[in-house]
Chains A and B, each alone.
Chain A
Amino acid sequence: MVNEGEYIAVFNSIHRVMKAEKFLKELKFPILLIPAPRAVSSDCGLALRYTEKERIAVESALAGSELAPEMVYCRRGNDYLLCRGVES
């Protein structure tokens, strides 16, 4: 469900990721809440998916609202590359 070059943001709690989803949707960002891929999460985790085009705006908006994700990954081929970890 994550296409090549797209980003996923992983949070440290279900409530936090749902809050982030709601916040970004209110701002009309084209994000999608998806199950976190197995490669980045061993539990029943969730992640927000967005494109590279939206990346800076999405992550800036989250950081500005104290909703910065725990980790951000980028899909490259069959791998998920860690882009950064954010202090939560």
Chain B
Amino acid sequence: MACPLPVVTVKRALEEPGSVGVTVMLDDGAPRENVTRFARNRGYEVNEAVTADGITLTITGSSGGVASPTISSQPERRNLFVTSDRLGDGPEELGRLLMKNFIITLLESPLLPDKILLVNQGVLLATEGSELLETLEKLGNRGVELLSCGVCLDFFGKRDALRAGSVTNMFTIVETLMAAGGTIRL
């Protein structure tokens, strides 16, 4: 399972209604470090056991005792709804530069969105050739879930070129936006 999928998978499991924890088997190295950091930042207790097959992490507790502030760990969840590969109106070159700067700067912020939803030309940010792939992977490792609109990827012929996050549909996009405490549209 390639990064940031281990973090995203654990995050989803922990967010299941009634979840009191999960046990997950991981490879040593980055998956182990990323999942451990993510869970501890959310206030969970992480116990580690080394087995012949790899590392087993038992994650228990609740996200109530948050060690590091993230928006997603606050009572109000907030999402980013990215509808373009450019930020703002104006020259195309400047818009692309500003979008790239925004996402990279987001990585430096202690407050992160719960999800980033990419639609229309926004999906191009997560496809092959995007300069943001490294940044998006790092955001994923910090628990930010990246979802790209499948229709949009198909329209641009880029479904096979998706390199970060996963594909979603409009049902999930609508449900996510309506359930969120707040959405920031870019």
On A, residues with C-beta under 8 Å from B are 1, 18, 32-35, 44, 46
| B108 close to A (CB within 8 Å) | yes
| B24 close to A (CB within 8 Å) | no
Asked if residues B108 and A18 are in contact (CB atoms below 8 Å), the reply is no
Can you list 20 A-B pairs with a CB-CB distance of less than 8 A? A1-B104, A1-B107, A1-B108, A1-B134, A1-B135, A18-B93, A18-B97, A32-B131, A32-B134, A33-B97, A33-B100, A33-B131, A34-B101, A34-B104, A35-B101, A35-B104, A35-B105, A44-B101, A46-B97, A46-B101
B105 partner residues in chain A, CB cutoff 8 A: 35
CB distance from A2 to the nearest CB of B (A): 10
The 10 closest A-B pairs by CB, nearest first: A35-B101, A1-B104, A35-B105, A34-B104, A35-B104, A32-B131, A1-B107, A1-B135, A33-B97, A1-B108
Q: Which of B88-135 contact A (CB under 8 A)?
A: 93, 97, 100-101, 104-105, 107-108, 131, 134-135
For the complex, give the distance between the alpha carbons of A18 and B97 in Å.
9
A35 partner residues in chain B, CB cutoff 8 A: 101, 104-105
- Nearest residue (CB) in B for A36 is B101
Chain B residues touching A, majority SS: helix
- Interface size classification for chain B: 10 to 19
For the complex, give the distance between the alpha carbons of A46 and B97 in Å.
10
For the complex, give the distance between the alpha carbons of A84 and B63 in Å.
46
- Nearest residue (CB) in A for B138 is A1
- Nearest residue (CB) in A for B93 is A18
B134 partner residues in chain A, CB cutoff 8 A: 1, 32
A44 partner residues in chain B, CB cutoff 8 A: 101
- Nearest residue (CB) in A for B107 is A1
- Nearest residue (CB) in A for B100 is A33
For the complex, give the distance between the alpha carbons of A18 and B95 in Å.
13
